[in-house]
Structure 1
C-alpha cells in the first residue's frame, strides 16, 4: 500500500492495511517519513515503512533566483539572509557584554582615560551595529516580500500552464508539478525490491507511482495488479497552495495513469459515479466507507486508558459541549462554532484537530479571544483512530460545519461515521449528501452553511431534545452498515478478485470466512521482503 503521508493520522489507510493483513494478505505499507530518518513499525500484522523523501523538485526554479526588478535589494535566496541576521545579533550581544565589562571596570576605578576611550569606541561600534541590523532587516524583508509576492497565479503563470498543456497534454504535469517525481524517486526503488503482486495506491499522487511500478514489472515479465483508492474527487479540491499550476498538473497526472488501475475503490456512490464519468472507467468503483474500527485497538495489558474528552476540556458532565473532530482549515467552517458562542451562553466547544498550533487555529483562537469566549474554546490534538469513538462520546453534539465545495457535497466523511458510532446528535451544514442522510435518518439538524443564525437555531433545537436524535441510532441495521468490518469485506473482495490464484486462505468475501490464523498460527513466508516460514499468507500487497 502506498500513501503520501506519515500514516499516523490517516485512519483509512491504517484500517485498510491492518484489515488486509488480518484477512491473510502479506501487507507492506509505504509512507513518507516526516523526519530525515526512515521509520518502521507493525500495524497489527501489517508492516509499516516510512521512507525518507528528499523533495528538491518541489521547489520552483524562481525560488532559486533573485527578483532583481521588483526587489533589487533583497538577499539572494541562498540562506545568506538568515546567516547575516544571526551574525548581527551575535555582534550586538558581544557589544552588550563588552559594555558590561567596561561598567565593572569603571566601578573598580581601573583604566582612567583608557576606559573612556574604549567606551567611546564601543558607542561608535554600537551605532554601526544598529545601522547594520536595520540594513540587514530591510534586505531580509525584501527577500520575504519577494517570496510571498510570487504566488504562481499571475497572467504569466496562467499562460505558462496553458502552453505546456497544449504542448504535452496530460504529460504537462512534468513541467507544471515536477515535485511529483520526488515521490517516484523515493518509493519506486523500494517497490521494485519488494516485487509485489498487487499495489494499493491511496489517492492521486500514489496512482502514478503505482502505475509506473506496474509498467516496469511488465517489462521484466511480472504481472502486478493496481488498486487505486480515490479518497477525493481531484477536480473538486480546493488547492492548499495559491498556485494556478497545481490543480491542472495533478488532474493531468491522474488522467495519464488512471487507465493503469485494474480496480478502483472510493468513499461514496456519488464519487464513484464521478470517477466513471471523468475517466471512462469500465466498471463502477467499489465503495469502501470511512467507517470507524474500534476493534483495532490494543487489548489486555497493552491497552491504553481511554482519553476523556471532558477531562481534557476541564468541564463537568453538566456543561453543554459541542465537538468538531477532523482537519482544520477555513473551508471546514470551524469559525462558525466560535462566532456563535456569544449567543449560546454556558456552552463549550472542543476542536479535535490535526494541527492544534497551525495558522488557521491561531486565527480561530484569536477570534475567540476577541469575542470574549476563549475560555470556552478547547483545542485538542488527535487521538489514536481506535480511540476516536469513545473519546467523542463525551460530547453532547457532533458538529460538521463544512462549506460548499464539490468534494464536500458528494460523500459522508469520516467524522460523520465517528459521531454516529458515538451516538451523538448531529448539527451539519447543508452540503448535499450529508444533509440528505441526516434528514432521512433523523439523527440531527441541518443548517445553512456559513449562516451563524441558522447554526444557532440548529444547536438549540438539538439540545432541547437530544434523546429524540439519539433514538435514530436504534434503527435496526443503521450502525451495522457503517462499520469498518463491513467495509473490510469489500476491500478483501477487490483483492481476491484481482488475485484469484493467490496462495493461502482466500476466504469467503461475503464475510463468512474464519480467521486465516485460527489453525495455522501467525502466517508468514519467505518472500521479497523476507520473514519467517510458516503457513503462507496470500500474495504480497504493497500498500
Structure 2
C-alpha cells in the first residue's frame, strides 16, 4: 500500500491498512517520512514504513543555472549569495571595532587610515546589495514562471512530450519514484494499492518492472480526488499540469480503480477511458473500535475549549486551507453572541490558522475561537459528539462539488446537526435527509442564519439519525468489505489462500 504522506492524519489510508490486515492480507504500508530518518510502526497487524525521500529534483534544472542573459548581476545558484552578504557584513563589523579602538586610544592617524577601507566597505555593501536584489528577483521570477519565455517553454514541453512532459515540469515525481520503487521491488508484492495521483506512477512502474521479471502484480488505484478540479497544492504554475499528465500516463495500468463517490467514479471512467466503473469506498468511520482503541481515553472537546455543556459550540474538523472557508466561522462570531467555534486541524500553528487567530483578535472574539490538534481517527466521532453543530463551509471548487467527504460521515456518526455550504453533493444530501441547514458558500449572513436555525431546534436535526438504515452503510466495516472484494477478485483467491501461497513460495526459496 502506497501513500505520499506521513500516514498520521490520513484516516482513509490508516483504515484501509488496518482492515486489510484484519481480513488476513499481509499488508505493508509505505509512506513519506517528514524527516530524514526512516520510521516504522504497526497499525493493528499492518506494518507501516515511512521512507526518507531525498528531493534534489524538487527544484527544476533551470533553477540551478546562472541567468547571464536574463539577470547578469544575479549571483549563481547556491550558497554564494548568502556567503557574500555575510562576508560584507562581517568586514563592516570588523572595521567598526577597529574604529572604536582607535577612538578609545585617541589615535587620529589610525582613524584616518581606516577611512579608505570604510568607504570601500560601504561601496561593496551597496554593490552586493544590488546583486542580492537581482538574485532574489530572479528567484521569484523562476518560481512564478509567468514571463513569455517561461510560458513558451512550458507549452513546448507539453506539445513535444505529451503526457510524458511531467518529467520536465515536475521532476520531484521522479524523486518519489526513486525512494519508493526500490522498496516496493524488494517486497515483491502480489498487489499494489496506490493512493491518489502521485502514487499511481510509483505503483505502475513497479508493476512494469515486476512483469519484466515474470511476476504478475495487480495494481489498485485509489483515486481520492478529481485531479483537474482541485485547487493546486503547490502554487508553481507547472505543478498542476505535471500532476495531470502523470496521472493520465499511468492510470491505464490500473487493474482496478476505487474512489470516494459515484459521481467521481463516473468522471474518472470517462476521463481515463476505464473499462469498468470504479468501486465506491467511502471514507466512513468505524462502527466499532477495537478493545485497545476503546480503552484509550478520549479528550473532552468542551474541556479543551474551557466551556460548559450549555455553551453553543460549532466545530470544524479536517484540512485547513483558504478554500475550506473557515474564515466564515470566525467572521460570524460578532453576530452569534455566546457561540464558540473549535477548529480541529492537523497543524494548529500553520500560517492559515494564524491568520484566523489574528482576525479573531481584530473582531474581539479570540476568547471564543479554539484551535486544537487532531485526535486519532478512531476517536474522532466520540471527540466531536459533544459539539452542537458540525460545519462544512467549503468553497465552490469542482472537486468540492462531487463527494461526501470524510468529515460528513464523522459528523453523521457523532449525530451532529450540519451547517454545510451549498456545494452540490453534500448540500443536496443534507437537504434530502434533513440533517441540517445549507447556506450560500462564502456568505456570512446566510451562514449566521443557518447556525441560528440549528441552535434554535437541535432535536429536529438530531432525530434524523434515528431513522432506520441511515448510518448502516456509512461505516468503514461496510467499505472494508468492498475493498476486500476488489483484492480477492484481482488475485482470484481469499486473503488466507494468498498468504499460504506466499509462505510456500518463500519456503521453497530457503
Structure 2-normalised TM-score? 0.90
User: Is it true that 1:273 corresponds to 2:266 in the alignment?
Assistant: yes
* Paired position in structure 2 for 1:512: none
- Residues 472 and 134 of structure 1: CA distance in aligned 2, closer, same or farther (over 3 Å): farther
User: Is it true that 1:310 corresponds to 2:330 in the alignment?
Assistant: no
More helix by proportion, 1 or 2? 2
User: Is it true that 1:206 corresponds to 2:199 in the alignment?
Assistant: yes
Q: Which residues of 2 match residues 260-409 of structure 1 at below 5 A?
A: 260-293=253-286, 295-296=288-289, 299=292, 303-409=295-401
CA deviation string 1:454-482 (max 9, x = no partner): 11111111111111111111111111211
* Paired position in structure 2 for 1:114: 105
* Paired position in structure 2 for 1:229: 222
- Residues 223 and 505 of structure 1: CA distance in aligned 2, closer, same or farther (over 3 Å): closer
Indicate the larger mover: 89-98 or 246-255: 89-98
Measure how far apart 1:303 and its partner are. Answer: 4.1
Q: Which residues of 2 match residues 240-251 of structure 1 at below 5 A?
A: 240-251=233-244
- Residues 385 and 114 of structure 1: CA distance in aligned 2, closer, same or farther (over 3 Å): same
Measure how far apart 1:379 and its partner are. Answer: 1.6
Indicate the larger mover: 404-413 or 159-168: 159-168
Secondary structure in 1 matching 2:162: helix
- Residues 72 and 381 of structure 1: CA distance in aligned 2, closer, same or farther (over 3 Å): farther
Q: Which residues of 2 match residues 91-106 of structure 1 at below 5 A?
A: none
* Paired position in structure 2 for 1:181: 174
* Paired position in structure 1 for 2:53: 53
- Residues 132 and 453 of structure 1: CA distance in aligned 2, closer, same or farther (over 3 Å): farther
Check conservation: 1:2, 1:29, Cα contact below 8 A. Answer: yes
- Residues 310 and 93 of structure 1: CA distance in aligned 2, closer, same or farther (over 3 Å): farther
Measure how far apart 1:147 and its partner are. Answer: 2.0
Measure how far apart 1:18 and its partner are. Answer: 0.5
User: Is it true that 1:169 corresponds to 2:159 in the alignment?
Assistant: no
User: Is it true that 1:491 corresponds to 2:464 in the alignment?
Assistant: no
Check conservation: 2:95, 2:114, Cα contact below 8 A. Answer: no
User: Is it true that 1:32 corresponds to 2:32 in the alignment?
Assistant: yes
Check conservation: 2:488, 2:495, Cα contact below 8 A. Answer: no
CA distance in 2, matches of 1:324, 1:333: 10
- Residues 114 and 250 of structure 1: CA distance in aligned 2, closer, same or farther (over 3 Å): same
Check conservation: 2:25, 2:495, Cα contact below 8 A. Answer: no
Measure how far apart 1:166 and its partner are. Answer: 2.4
Check conservation: 2:430, 2:437, Cα contact below 8 A. Answer: yes
CA distance in 1, matches of 2:501, 2:360: 54
Measure how far apart 1:346 and its partner are. Answer: 1.7
* Paired position in structure 2 for 1:511: none
Indicate the larger mover: 73-82 or 113-122: 113-122
Indicate the larger mover: 156-165 or 121-130: 121-130
Indicate the larger mover: 77-86 or 449-458: 77-86
Measure how far apart 1:95 and its partner are. Answer: 8.3
Indicate the larger mover: 240-249 or 81-90: 81-90
- Residues 118 and 314 of structure 1: CA distance in aligned 2, closer, same or farther (over 3 Å): farther
- Residues 156 and 23 of structure 1: CA distance in aligned 2, closer, same or farther (over 3 Å): same
Secondary structure in 1 matching 2:473: helix
* Paired position in structure 1 for 2:431: 439
CA distance in 1, matches of 2:113, 2:35: 44
1:238 counterpart (226, 231, 248) = 231
CA distance in 2, matches of 1:528, 1:95: 75
Secondary structure in 1 matching 2:13: helix
Measure how far apart 1:291 and its partner are. Answer: 0.7
* Paired position in structure 1 for 2:455: 463
- Residues 335 and 123 of structure 1: CA distance in aligned 2, closer, same or farther (over 3 Å): farther
State the number of aligned residues: 506
Measure how far apart 1:173 and its partner are. Answer: 1.8
CA distance in 1, matches of 2:12, 2:21: 14
CA distance in 1, matches of 2:289, 2:73: 57
Unmatched segments (≥5 aa) in structure 2: none
CA distance in 2, matches of 1:527, 1:234: 41
Indicate the larger mover: 192-201 or 356-365: 356-365
Secondary structure in 2 matching 1:25: coil
Unmatched segments (≥5 aa) in structure 1: 103-110, 507-515, 517-522, 534-543
CA distance in 1, matches of 2:104, 2:400: 77
* Paired position in structure 1 for 2:6: 6
Check conservation: 1:389, 1:421, Cα contact below 8 A. Answer: yes
Check conservation: 1:323, 1:395, Cα contact below 8 A. Answer: yes
CA deviation string 1:157-176 (max 9, x = no partner): 33323322322222222222
Measure how far apart 1:386 and its partner are. Answer: 1.1
- Residues 138 and 527 of structure 1: CA distance in aligned 2, closer, same or farther (over 3 Å): farther
Structure 1-normalised TM-score? 0.85
- Residues 374 and 82 of structure 1: CA distance in aligned 2, closer, same or farther (over 3 Å): farther
Check conservation: 1:322, 1:397, Cα contact below 8 A. Answer: yes
Indicate the larger mover: 75-84 or 345-354: 75-84
CA distance in 2, matches of 1:370, 1:123: 52
* Paired position in structure 2 for 1:537: none
CA deviation string 1:428-454 (max 9, x = no partner): 000000001000111110001111111
- Residues 163 and 127 of structure 1: CA distance in aligned 2, closer, same or farther (over 3 Å): closer
Check conservation: 2:24, 2:495, Cα contact below 8 A. Answer: no
- Residues 187 and 527 of structure 1: CA distance in aligned 2, closer, same or farther (over 3 Å): farther
- Residues 214 and 258 of structure 1: CA distance in aligned 2, closer, same or farther (over 3 Å): same
- Residues 96 and 31 of structure 1: CA distance in aligned 2, closer, same or farther (over 3 Å): farther
Secondary structure in 2 matching 1:50: strand
More contact order relative to length (CA 8 Å, sep ≥ 6) = 1
* Paired position in structure 2 for 1:256: 249
* Paired position in structure 2 for 1:430: 422
Measure how far apart 1:117 and its partner are. Answer: 6.6
Check conservation: 1:200, 1:229, Cα contact below 8 A. Answer: yes
Check conservation: 1:158, 1:245, Cα contact below 8 A. Answer: no
